[in-house]
Amino acid sequence: MTSASLWIMTWLPADFEHPVRVPLADGQHFLRPIRGADTELDYPAVMGSRERLWTIYGESWGWPPATMTYEQDLEDLLRHEAEIAAHQSFNYALFDEAGTALLGCVYIDPPEKAGADAEISWWVVDDHLGGSLEQALDAFVPRWIAAVWPFRQPRYVGRDLSWSDWRALPDLV
């Protein structure tokens, strides 16, 4: 077993139970772990905001590619679903209260770079960029992480550290 594999296995306490539905303070939106069954809502959300998402995640994650198909998105969401079940990483989808629109995502990952015990980032669809939903999510995520998750040094990539500064940090291994 590599040291990176050992770290992923121990980055959360063995008895930690991740939240399964997290209401935002506005009472109109909630977060929940993403599933393969969400592809029908995720694919248009991602591809509708793809150009901006590429400017955020493209250089670091290679995501979302311009040619991503529905089937590739389904594979990606099934991978996320399995990682969530194994507590390897977490992708929480942001939904309207009815659960009929996927409006963004919050990623909670074990650190790849030195100096943190988790790396967290999030986005909203272009239609909500700069609006009250994005502002609510920006305020909510750090409070939620501090209150519910067992991290002492979470890093908010793209928020408290730019993606280019994050890429320049030394790798954890």
**pLDDT tens per residue across span 20-72:** 999 999 999 999 999 999 999 999 999 999 999 999 999 999 999 999 999 99
C-beta contacts of 129-135 below 8 A and 24+ residues apart: 129/52, 132/26, 133/26, 133/29, 133/94, 133/103, 133/104, 134/104
Q: Give the pLDDT score at 1.
A: 37
Percent of the chain with pLDDT over 90: 92
**At 4, is the pLDDT very low, low, confident or very high (cuts 50, 70, 90)?**
very low
Cα distance between residue 113 and residue 115, in whole Å: 7
**What is the reported pTM?**
0.93
**Beta-sheet strands, E only, within 18-168:** 22-23, 29-33, 90-96, 102-109, 118-124, 154-156
Higher-confidence residue of 131 and 8: namely 131
The per-residue pLDDT for 173 is 74
Give the pLDDT mean for 78-102.
97
